Structure 1
Amino acid sequence: MTTATLRTAVVIGCGATGTSVALALTGAGVEVTLLDDDPRATAEAVALGAGTAWTPEHPPADLVVVATPPSAVVDALYRAQSQGLGHVYTDTAGAKDVIVSDAELRGCDLKGYVPGHPLAGPDAPGRADADATRFTGRIWTLCPYETTPAWALRTLDALIEACGAQRLDLSPQIHDRVVAELSHAPHLVAAVLSSRFADSSLGFLGLAEQGLRDAVRTAGGDPWAWGDVLAHNAGPVADVLDRIAGQLSRAAAILREGDESAPLELALTLEEGRRGQAALDGTGDVRTPRDASAAGRV
């Protein structure tokens, strides 16, 4: 499928995600050219074997992948379409609803644009985490429009196949609710929790058990990249944080009241947490949404 429908591609943005996409496509035999506002980033990605630097002499590519931070996607998409860089366009940003709306308001050509997001961890400006296998076995969400033509989706199918990922179609709104619950809000909670230890002594931190270290591990992501993503998924993330804050406030009130029923009331919350942890552990063998039970909520 890849060689038949995807022979050439342009990747805009040579961070960890864009370079990983380029490496996967190059490994699948696709001719990849690279664009980045920072010439050094392009040169480093070229040195890694991700492709060659784009020049105006290149004909329109089968696919253009916009792998920039969310705040830059619409500008990059509009500019690429204005220059006629390709026939089909997609992006990899971790938020979709605002970008989809802004692309329409900006006047982007929506016929050949298929919003996308590979669920493979946050992007990073550097290329240290770039890896051709970054997306292997991962879900790659698409948010096609009702009018998206079949030929554009076939090109995206070839991209996802070349990256070893598995396609899942979601509406932009559902996508943003899902990542708010499973990624964005948990990251911010971990960051707030770990911020309490930023200025602690080594002697104090040496007493921390592995459970705490595991709980805050995701807070180590790039702050600017994460801030951009969170701002573009503001509403759904704020909704999740409000619910978490409500649960924590209720727990604090129970502890302050000091009633005899406090252990039981706290145990109810802790039991819900235990059930959630067990449910997450139970997804270890679930490779795609098709493997999972239809029960539950989104």
Structure 2
Amino acid sequence: MSDALLGADRRLEGPVRIVGTGLLGTSIGLALSERGVDVSLADASPASLALAVDYGAGRPAGEHDEPRLVVVCVPPDVTAAVVAAELAAHPSALVTDVASVKLAPLEQLRALGADLTRYLGSHPMAGRERGGAIAARADLFIGRPWVIAGHDGIGYRDGGPVEDLILDLGATPIEMTAEEHDRSVALVSHVPQVVSSLMAARLAEASDAAAGLAGQGVRDVTRVAASDPALWVQILGANAAPVHEALVALRTDLDGVIGALEQPTAPGARRAVAEALAAGNAGVARLPGKHGTRTQFAALVVMIDDRPGELGRLLVEIGEIGVNMEDLRLEHSPGAQIGLAEIAVLPEAEQRLSEELARRGWRIAGAWQ
């Protein structure tokens, strides 16, 4: 976690109880513990709980704990039941959850007659391909959007500790209804997971020669395909309607391209393919830059010799030049004597960085395709 964040005034006062010590729960615990918040941990698995405690995410929950905030970090299919139990067990605490669907738990809690005046669902748009406490990071949420799914059963002031939690962890709070959230994540998270998995499945029977040609493009498309299938079955089932709608629209687009490629010389075929690709250009231009801003970055591709310390030297020299690196991607093919580092910077810094790196002896390649 950055020194600036560690030094900032803490908004959230404990004690905080975290139920579920997987990736998100342990990461929240690590970040809060670094800030001096009293964090208690609970998990149905004693081994998972012990591991999170060993990593420093908090202490085991005690029988007489009186948390001010409870953060439920369990799979979607049990989220509502656990939230209801926590509301009943801690009548003075505000309870939130970090499940990746928001409407289903809210409706289930209403059906259970839970006290919704002390419940406010939320969802951090952060994660990793690997799960569990072993993959947790205190800086996992820095600069990431974190949705607060408000409802008519709780007032803004009563839900304040959830916003304090989000800000203390370095994330950016985004207010949405549960319905808006679920439709949004269907498009930007759940459907991409399906597409990534289906594309990666095509690689299972690829020849060794074909797999050896894989570059950054296919790696980008399939990166999230390594996610846990059991968890995603729950997520997709809980958000089935908006995911289905988006996949049907995607299927229509795909059918158009397939039809054009069946007869690529037919009148209008090339135009259909071109318009599909151009629509992709327009869509990707909508994606925000770092920290949720609308800034679009320029990219330099720097060739790096395959020697120890070369990447570190490049990053140090970028700092010496005084240019802020917004993002970094690396590609290195097995057996290659060089690697490629794509450095994302603000457009106005691109030329100066290129000239300065070239002057220092670095070789600048073109942008990746």
**TM-score over 0.5 for the pair:** yes
The answer as to 2:229 corresponding to 1:223 is yes
* Partner residue, 1:211: 217
Deviation at 1:73?
0.5
> How do residues 1-298 of structure 1 correspond to structure 2 at under 5 angstroms?
6-58=13-65, 60-84=66-90, 87-121=93-127, 125-258=131-264, 259-280=266-287, 283-285=288-290, 287-288=291-292, 291-292=293-294
Contact 1:114 1:152 in 2 (8 A): no
Contact 1:26 1:51 in 2 (8 A): yes
Normalised to the residue count of structure 2, the TM-score between the two structures is 0.73
How many residue pairs end up in the alignment? 287
Structure 1 residues not aligned, in runs of 5+: 294-298
Equivalent residue letter for 2:280: G
* Partner residue, 2:342: none
Deviation at 1:85?
6.8
Displaced runs of 4 or more, over 3 A: 1-5, 122-125
CA deviation map 1:14-41 (0-9, x unaligned): 0000000111111122101001000000
* Partner residue, 1:296: none
Greater radius of gyration (CA):
2
| RMSD over equivalenced CA pairs, Å | 2.0
Q: Distance in 2 between matches of 1:170 and 1:84?
A: 26
**Greater RCO, CA 8 A, separation 6+:** 1
Contact 2:29 2:39 in 1 (8 A): yes
Contact 1:65 1:89 in 2 (8 A): yes
Q: Distance in 2 between matches of 1:2 and 1:81?
A: 29
Contact 2:23 2:127 in 1 (8 A): no
Equivalent residue letter for 2:15: T
Deviation at 1:86?
5.2
Deviation at 1:209?
3.2
Paired-residue identity, %:
31
Equivalent residue letter for 1:188: V
CA deviation map 1:206-244 (0-9, x unaligned): 123331222111111111122211111111111110000
Contact 1:92 1:116 in 2 (8 A): yes
Contact 1:8 1:31 in 2 (8 A): yes
Contact 2:146 2:171 in 1 (8 A): yes
CA deviation map 1:69-103 (0-9, x unaligned): 11111111111122227510000011111111111
Task: Classify the secondary structure of the residue corresponding to 1:235.
Answer: helix
Deviation at 1:5?
5.1
Q: Distance in 2 between matches of 1:227 and 1:122?
A: 17
Distance 1:79 1:55, change over 3 A: same
